[in-house]
Each structure stands twice: as C-alpha cells, then as structure tokens.
C-alpha cells in the first residue's frame, strides 16, 4: 500500500500544481464566462448536482455503455476474422483504417438527420470512434504469438481451434484490456460529441446549453464530470485486468 502511494505521489503533486496554477491564473483574469476557476466549477457542480447526476449523466452513460459493448463485440469479431485468413485481413484492414479518416464532427450531424434526436445516432458516433482501437489492438495481440510456439503445438497434434483458445486468446488478453482502456475515454467523448450536436439530454447537451448562457462554470462542470467518470471506469477495468491476467505481473 505504501509503495503504491509513493509511486503515485509525483502524479498527485503534479496534478495539484496544475490546479493551483489554473486557480491563480483564472482568478487574475476575472472572466469566469471564459475560464472559471476550479473552485467555481466545483461550486457549480454542487449547485447543479440533481440535473447533472440524475438526468444528464445517466443519459450519457447509457449511450457510452451501449456503444462500447457493440464496439467490443464488433472489434473482437473483426480481429478474429482477420486473424483467421490473410485474404480477409487484406480485405478488411484498409476498410477499418479508412473509417478513422472520416471526421467525426462532419459525420455526426448526418447521424442526427438520419436517426433524429434519439439514442441511436449518438451510439453510432460512439461506435465509430471506439471500434478501431479495439479491432487493431486485439488483432495485434493475436499476431504477437510467436510462430515457434504455434509450430510446437502443431507438432503435439493441436488443431487450429486449440491453438486459438490455448495460445492466441491468452496472448491477446492483455491487448484486449489495453484496447478497452483506450476505448472508454473515446466512447465518452463520442457520446458527448453526439449530444453536443443534437440531443435533448446528456452532459454534452447540458454543456452546450450552458455555453449559450455564457456560463463558463456550467460549461466546465459536465466536462469535469465526464473526465472523472472516464477515470473511474478505467480504474475498474484495470482492477479487472489485474484479477484476470495475473501471470502478466509475474513476467
């Protein structure tokens, strides 16, 4: 416990220093509608705690979790298909890469036009920004298996199914968790972008509404809440990773 605290202390000190600098500079500017201080943001979060925590946060998290679950399934399936066949890899890999060249801010309004202000337009934005890191990272995990290990299992009479389950899946598991930890913040960003461009609830929508009122602290409050939520989700995933991939810490 003490070792973990000592290891994390520099990051906490750096974070506190940044917050202190922010507090001083924003206080001297005295323009809260442009750059509120951290104290003003926390006060605003407390004042708006009921709509933020009971209405808009659940709306954003429902979009985030649905989009993330679909992205995980889609990404893992695509990674497995590309690992199964070089022909499939040659066909799918460029398409997966091309999807990331589409500007999210340009395509998101079209989703709103196609699907309206309901949940599915924003879910699609979330999927668009998250399935790529999952697909590519898990695929790299499959490819990280050494050829010598595969050939050794083949000499023992292992089938392709045995090699995949007993060798490739364990090798790809750390990559899978790394991909999820990358995808979680991206999924929250995707949900917020979708809400910003067209929604009736959600933290992105709330932030845009506060901007029209020139309420700087109100704009930052949902952003801070999104950041804290992302940090907590990544922490949960990290705990699950340590529990499921114990052998990684022994290497």
Percentage, residues of the chain above pLDDT 90: 26
Query: Is-contact 195 63, C-beta < 8 A?
Result: yes
Stronger pLDDT, 115 or 233, i.e. the higher one: 233
CA-to-CA distance for 51 and 8, rounded, in angstroms?
A: 33
* Neighbour-count burial of 62, counting CB atoms closer than 10 A to its CB (0-12 exposed, 13-18 middle, 19+ buried): middle
Contact partners, residue 123, CB within 8 Å, separation at least 6: 63, 66, 67, 70, 194
Question: What rounded mean pLDDT belongs to the chain?
Answer: 85
Q: Is 113 helix (H, G, I), strand (E, B) or coil?
A: helix
As a residue count, the chain comes to 251
Position 228 scores a pLDDT of: 92
* pLDDT single digits (tens) 149-166: 877 888 887 788 888 888
* pLDDT single digits (tens) 29-76: 877 777 888 888 999 989 888 988 998 999 999 999 999 999 999 999
Position 118 scores a pLDDT of: 76
* pLDDT single digits (tens) 86-133: 898 888 888 888 877 777 777 777 777 777 777 888 888 898 889 888
CA-to-CA distance for 93 and 84, rounded, in angstroms?
A: 13
Is the pLDDT at 80 greater than 50, yes or no?
A: yes
- Give the 3-state secondary structure percentages of the chain, helix then strand then coil, rounded to 5: 85, 0, 15
Question: What separation in angstroms does the CA of 159 have from each of 41, 81, 96, 142, 176?
Answer: 59, 17, 29, 16, 23
Give the residue among 191, 175, 174, 198 at the shortest CA–CA distance from 113. Answer: 198
């Amino acid at each position: 416990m003490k070792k973990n605290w000592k290891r994390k202390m520099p990051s906490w000190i750096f974070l506190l220093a940044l917050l202190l600098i922010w507090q001083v500079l924003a206080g001297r500017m005295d323009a809260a509608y442009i750059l509120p201080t951290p104290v003003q943001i926390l006060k605003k979060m407390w004042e708006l705690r009921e709509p933020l925590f009971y209405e808009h946060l659940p709306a954003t998290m429902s979009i985030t979790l649905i989009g993330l679950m679909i992205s995980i399934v889609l990404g893992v399936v695509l990674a497995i298909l590309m690992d199964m066949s070089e022909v499939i890899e040659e066909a799918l890999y460029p398409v997966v890469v091309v999807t990331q060249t589409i500007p999210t801010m340009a395509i998101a309004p079209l989703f709103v036009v196609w699907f309206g202000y309901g949940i599915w337009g924003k879910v699609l934005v979330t999927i668009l920004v998250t399935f790529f890191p999952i697909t590519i990272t898990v695929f790299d995990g499959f490819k990280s298996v050494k050829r010598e290990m595969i050939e050794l299992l083949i000499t023992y009479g292992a089938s392709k199914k045995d090699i995949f389950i007993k060798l490739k899946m364990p090798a790809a598991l750390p990559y899978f968790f790394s991909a999820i930890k990358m995808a979680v913040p991206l999924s929250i960003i995707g949900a917020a972008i979708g809400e910003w461009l067209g929604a009736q609830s959600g933290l992105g929508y709330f932030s845009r509404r506060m901007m029209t009122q020139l309420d700087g602290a109100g704009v930052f409050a949902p952003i801070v809440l999104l950041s804290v939520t992302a940090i907590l989700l990544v922490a949960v995933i990290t705990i699950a990773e340590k529990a499921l991939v114990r052998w990684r810490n022994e290497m």
